[in-house]
Structure 1
């Protein structure tokens, strides 16, 4: 079983200059949970949802996909909202109406083998401080694989110096990091993504994956480094594509028996052949998601087809 911790929200998705928006369930951690569940994994999403119309829409979407929902103790806030405006290439620019004020982290079931988090949940105070302490405690306990996608949202963040410091602390606590080149350009302007990936790897993780949009992805472990081109698809939009890629990574690791604290050494030993297969699988999953409006990742049957 995999536990995902983080925000659930509604994406209002529309094209630049248009007045009509579609209300689609989203939130990076919620999207990852849906992606994992549709691939057949047992998934719990620890999150915040308001007791309102938007919250009910998100809840129905999650439950229909097979995600178990656990509401974290925290302030009584309405369900969060993200306004995604698409350019002519289907790339989204986001504006957020979001709060992340949780008071306690999740309590993990004994069957849990991995925890994934990231995005607003690990950067937006005060909830981010709760989650960071949780990651540190779980790293010390050593029972589960810890996964992070920083998924930087600059419109909601403090100074770049503060964000870099927080992200680097969290990267050093986890086993798997997935990050986009867009995120890395915000964190480290002018630096090569592969150089950052190697530096992050040396700070603690066993696996670092960098996604490059249409240019593909690369993965780095102590045992190897590989680059993989992107799947070629007729994209409708890119909403949720990175989250689908993350779900693909975690699903591949689960299928390979590499989730759980005791598997960390094997995870760090993934060679070029294994990394290439991991990236190809995740790329297909993300590519299918790009052919649909909103964050709608595929099932395992669709991936096989």
Structure 2
């Protein structure tokens, strides 16, 4: 078995986006499908930046499941650890291309990615990959939750074990249970990243500096708090970096956090300093927000630094 440098775990499926901007779904006339799911998009973003990436996830035994496998391979992500579940359909997600767009998830009664079992874990890759990335959504239901915990115990908090504190309240019956599970996984994590609301679920703090400090107190080595239009804060035990966003004309902001994550993985593996890492993350997020799609919009490193040097993400789209 090949031990990949990066392993993400969790949600995958098909994203369906309207081809009309600022139009309610009930009025949209044409749609296009894309590869989706946050951990999948993070994997694609890291692969686009040249990293060796695989994902542990599940799909249905259906045409959309075949599409997920075909498209992820096309975009550079190994499907070696993708499980096919014949009892459930591949999830589909719709969203509107409007400000603060809601998501409409079709994942009932459950999703294949929430059915991954401990026996599905690729133990050598889990233990020895350079980056293990997981998200909060994967903790919402068993057997996925138990599988995540076992994987984290296998790693023993080895760097880099990254917790994307992705908070989707529609997936949780009880927010208090989410807080307990987030706290448990933080004890097995060395990098934590999330927005203010996600930090509040994880550590009870949403003010950025207090939230980062609370994450560090849990033993995390790098705490990153995303602040939307105000940029991002990153802290370690002896370093603090606040990096503003890079201006962008937003078309679809739903994939910006995943681009941020893929760039974070790349920056860590390249050994960049903290401020440079977050500069790259913010630029990657802005670039994807300025494009219609998510997975196929992930930038190259050259595009990231071109945008940074120009002072705007729009420079890339002006050339298109």
Query: TM-score, with normalisation over the residues of structure 1?
Result: 0.86
Distance across 1 between alignment mates of 2:122 and 2:137: 17
SS in 2 for 1:4: strand
What SS does structure 2 have at the residue aligned with 1:173? Answer: coil
| Counterpart position of 2:24 | 16
Q: Does 1:26 align with 2:41?
A: no
Paired with 1:17 and 1:26, the residues of 2 have a C-alpha distance of 18
Corresponding residue number in structure 1 for 2:135: 118
Question: Residue 207 of structure 1 corresponds to which residue in structure 2?
Answer: 222
Which of 105, 129, 133 is the matching residue for 2:150? 133
Aligned counterparts of 1:195 and 1:125: Cα–Cα separation in 2: 32
Equivalent residues of 2:165, 2:199 under 8 A apart: no
Contact in 1 for aligned 2:8/2:39 (Cα 8 Å): yes
RMSD across aligned C-alpha pairs, in angstroms? 2.2
Q: Give the equivalent residue in structure 2 for 1:304.
A: 305
Closer, same or farther: CA 190–45 of 1 in aligned 2, 3 Å: closer
Alpha-carbon contact 2:197-2:206 (below 8 Å) kept: no
4+ aligned runs moved over 6 Å, structure 1:
none
Secondary structure of the 1:240 match is helix
Distance 1:253 1:83 in 2: 32
Match of 2:313 in 1: none
Give the total of aligned pairs. Answer: 285
Aligned-partner Cα distance in 1 for 2:83–2:70: 20
Residues 205 and 214 of structure 2 are in contact (CA less than 8 Å); yes or no, is this contact kept in structure 1?
Answer: no
Query: Is this contact kept in 2: 1:46–1:72, CA < 8 A?
Result: yes
Moved more, 230-239 or 177-186: 177-186
Question: Which stretch has the larger CA shift, 62-71 or 213-222?
Answer: 62-71
Aligned equivalent of 1:227:
242
State yes or no: 1:174 paired with 2:189: yes
Distance 1:298 1:213, change over 3 A: same
- Equivalent of 2:89 in 59, 62, 78: 78
Q: Give the one of 110, 117, 123 matched to 1:107.
A: 123
5+ residue gaps, structure 2: 307-320
- Residue 105 of structure 2: SS of its match in structure 1? strand
